[in-house]
């Protein structure tokens, strides 16, 4: 997939995800994650991971971004960018969370060790979560 053709807004998404990563609340893991979703009507909504002293309450950046967008009235998403230091792949819980909205969602995997504007890897959610559970 050619990134500029498949997702011309990838730079804006990357910028938003990287900026949100700076707000991560990650005092326990020190693992900061940023995410930004692109809504079908062209809006970009970002999120970061939010940890808690009761570890199991931690929320991943992807779910924060989607939830923030839903709260703003957007429920149709074409893409999400995930930014972190290293190789970012959404966890299993986030894959299931994302598939609710668009099984073919484009996912940008952005390693912040690379200079900004370095094209992130592009995958489809259906590649990361084949045969996903959905209520029929
Ligand atoms: N985390 C995310 O934000 N997204 C993922 O897809 C994987 C993990 C967060 C949760 C926790 O705050 C930290 O990364 C370490 O697991």
Neighbours of 109 (CB within 10 A): 17
Q: Widest CA span of the chain, in angstroms?
A: 43
Ligand 1 center to 109 CA (angstroms): 14
Ligand 1 center to 126 CA (angstroms): 20
Residue 1, pLDDT above cutoff 80: no
52 touches 81 (CB < 8 A): no
Q: How far is CA 80 from CA 21, 56, 136, in A?
A: 14, 24, 25
Q: Which residues line ligand 1 (CB under 6 A)?
A: 26, 29, 31, 33, 49, 51, 58, 60-62, 90-91, 94
Mean pLDDT along residues 67-91: 97
Domains annotated for the chain, with CATH where assigned, are 3-128 (3.40.140.10)
Neighbours of 72 (CB within 10 A): 11
Taking all residues of the chain, what is their mean pLDDT, rounded to a whole number?
Answer: 97
Which residues are known catalytic residues?
62
Mean pLDDT along residues 45-52: 98
Angle at 31 between CA 51 and CA 39, to 5 degrees: 75
Residue 117, pLDDT above cutoff 90: no
Full-model pTM: 0.97
Mean pLDDT along residues 29-47: 98
Q: Please provide residue 20's backbone torsions phi and psi, each rounded to the nearest 5 degrees.
A: -65, -35
pLDDT band at 88 (very low <50, low <70, confident <90, very high): confident
Residue 136, pLDDT above cutoff 90: no
Residue 13, pLDDT above cutoff 80: yes
């Amino acid at each position: 997939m050619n990134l500029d053709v498949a997702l011309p807004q990838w730079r804006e998404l990357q910028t938003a995800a990287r900026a949100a990563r700076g707000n991560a609340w990650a005092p326990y893991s020190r693992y900061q994650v940023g995410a930004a979703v692109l809504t079908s009507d062209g809006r970009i909504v970002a999120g970061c991971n939010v940890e808690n002293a009761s570890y199991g309450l931690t929320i991943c950046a992807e779910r924060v971004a989607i939830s923030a967008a839903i709260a703003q009235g957007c429920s149709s998403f074409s893409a999400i960018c995930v930014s972190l230091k290293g190789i970012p792949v959404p966890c299993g819980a986030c894959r299931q969370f994302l598939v609710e909205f668009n099984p073919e969602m484009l996912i940008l995997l952005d390693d912040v060790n690379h200079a900004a504007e370095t094209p992130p890897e592009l995958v489809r959610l259906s590649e990361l979560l084949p045969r996903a559970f959905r209520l029929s």
